Structure 1
Amino acid sequence: MHAHDLELVSDDSTSTRRSQPGAASQGTATVVALEDGRWSLTRDGQRFDAGRAASCLLAPALGDKVWFVAEGDSAYVLAVLERAGEGPATLHIDGDAELRAEGRLTVSGTELELRGEQQLGLQADELRVRGRLGKLLLDEGSMVLRSLFTHVGKSTFVAKVIERFSERFSSHSKTSLRSVDEIDQVQAGNIDYRAEEAMQVTARHAMIKGGELVKVDGGQIHLG
């Protein structure tokens, strides 16, 4: 049937009367089907199609009880009055949308998930992330920072290959331990090792080779 064949609901009574020419009819109906972005509604055994009004953000689902308005050959679902199922509710907006608040905006829930099929962007003068446990899973990642300061109680880094490039690299620690299973190689223009108390080099075979000069200087020198 067409929307103009619906009966008009009186504002002061639940009874219905035939709509006058050009008058709009409204009332409750049940969603029975969805096809090509339009909903099929049923009311008093009559079935008709309706679109979703721009103000109806909650997307109707099968079996939902909705409030509609019809005028001429057009009918629209204005609101979902009662949901039939217990599944997740969907807020649907056609096209681009923007949520704006003049003051503070808080979004809260037991679980919160942000999903962007192509891109997800966060922009703020100051960005804060706080949580008890954090996980980040990426196929590829890049980070560009002017300055970085981190303070952690314990850090564990596991990687197959690590490459670091810097103009200057400085490291300071109270105790430094390093273990290498195979080859430990250093290539540098000049190398300077200094120890305030003692320095020990132990190996099954130890070799020191100087292309032009090898110098050993000390108050006492013991060989053998």
Structure 2
Amino acid sequence: MSDSSSIAGQPARRGLPGGATPAQSCVGLVTGVAGRAFAIRSGGLEAVGRRAASCLLEPVAGDTVACLLVAPDELWVVAVLQREEGAAHLLRSEAPLKVEAPALSFEVSHLELRAARAEMAAGDAEFSCSRLRVVAGAIKLVGLALNSVFDRVTHFSKHHLRTTQGIDRVQATHLEIEAEQLLRLSGEHALINGDKLVKTRGGQIHFG
């Protein structure tokens, strides 16, 4: 039998391949942060390193990190190993970040989202909560059908304009329409039906 093991059918190579860059791993302490540069102290080594693309957790001063020393002046922080309890965690990516998964769920006590522009597209969406409060400068809804069911609806606006091309019907047990100055009802045909009583009262009543 051969002494070499294989992965995916490829024989394992002993030592470094020709032309490969050697690297030394170490564990260090972040002593300072200046922009994208991190001051690292590991034993007697003090160097300035950068965060690797795979390390999304932003290192802060006091973190214990795993580093990869490629050259005397090239140090990469590949992972944050330990942080003080209670300190905040920040995931940062210098490039656009995309997450793909069959299912994604968040379970938190408080969720806050801030963005200059937000877009969401879904074939079917459902939102459930005990209370919903929306504050916006302008709201526009466009769709084929709108169905709403409420026990009570209260609406206030300075101006209310409504246009219906088809039938506009209101069905209620008791209906009141009150205007402080002028009430005007007009149409090609006007019908008022009262099964028991029709009453008109005013200081002056004009017909015709």
TM range (shorter): 0.7 to 0.9
Question: Which letter does structure 1 place at the counterpart of 2:41?
Answer: T
Matched, 1:79 2:82: no
Map 1:197-216 → 2, pairs under 5 A = 197-203=196-202, 205-210=203-208
Give 1:57's aligned residue: 56
Question: Which letter does structure 1 place at the counterpart of 2:154?
Answer: T
Change (3 A) 1:156 1:88: farther
Q: Structure 1 residue 156: deviation in Å?
A: 0.9
- Where structure 2 has 5 or more consecutive residues not aligned to the other structure, the ranges are 1-20
Give 2:47's aligned residue: 48
Q: Structure 1 residue 80: deviation in Å?
A: 1.0
Q: Structure 1 residue 208: deviation in Å?
A: 2.0
Give 2:92's aligned residue: 92
Deviations 1:24-56 (A, max 9, x none): 222222222222312121223542111111111
Matched, 1:31 2:30: yes
Check conservation: 2:69, 2:75, Cα contact below 8 A: yes
For 1:116 and 1:81, how far apart are their aligned partners in 2? Answer: 30
Q: Structure 1 residue 122: deviation in Å?
A: 1.6
Deviations 1:44-99 (A, max 9, x none): 35421111111111111122111111111321111111123634311111211111
For 1:33 and 1:194, how far apart are their aligned partners in 2? Answer: 84
- Where structure 1 has 5 or more consecutive residues not aligned to the other structure, the ranges are 1-21, 211-224
For 1:186 and 1:48, how far apart are their aligned partners in 2? Answer: 83
Check conservation: 1:65, 1:80, Cα contact below 8 A: yes
Matched, 1:183 2:182: yes
Question: Which letter does structure 2 place at the counterpart of 1:93?
Answer: S
Give 2:193's aligned residue: 194
Q: Taking structure 2 as the reference length, what is the TM-score of the superposition? A: 0.81
Pairwise CA RMSD: 1.8
Correspondence for 2:146 among 145, 148, 152: 148
Check conservation: 1:65, 1:84, Cα contact below 8 A: no
- Structure with larger Rg: 1
Structure 1 residues 156-165 or 24-33, which shifts more?
24-33
Q: Structure 1 residue 179: deviation in Å?
A: 3.1
For 2:87 and 2:188, how far apart are their aligned partners in 1? Answer: 68
Question: Which letter does structure 1 place at the counterpart of 2:175?
Answer: S
Structure 1 residues 185-194 or 168-177, which shifts more?
185-194
Question: Which letter does structure 1 place at the counterpart of 2:156?
Answer: V
For 1:31 and 1:160, how far apart are their aligned partners in 2? Answer: 59
Check conservation: 1:62, 1:84, Cα contact below 8 A: no
Check conservation: 2:32, 2:39, Cα contact below 8 A: yes
For 1:30 and 1:161, how far apart are their aligned partners in 2? Answer: 63
Q: Taking structure 1 as the reference length, what is the TM-score of the superposition? A: 0.76
For 2:25 and 2:32, how far apart are their aligned partners in 1? Answer: 19
Deviations 1:102-161 (A, max 9, x none): 2x22111001122222x2112111110100000001011111011111111111111111
Give 1:166's aligned residue: 164
For 1:88 and 1:202, how far apart are their aligned partners in 2? Answer: 72
| Partner secondary structure for residue 79 of structure 1 | strand
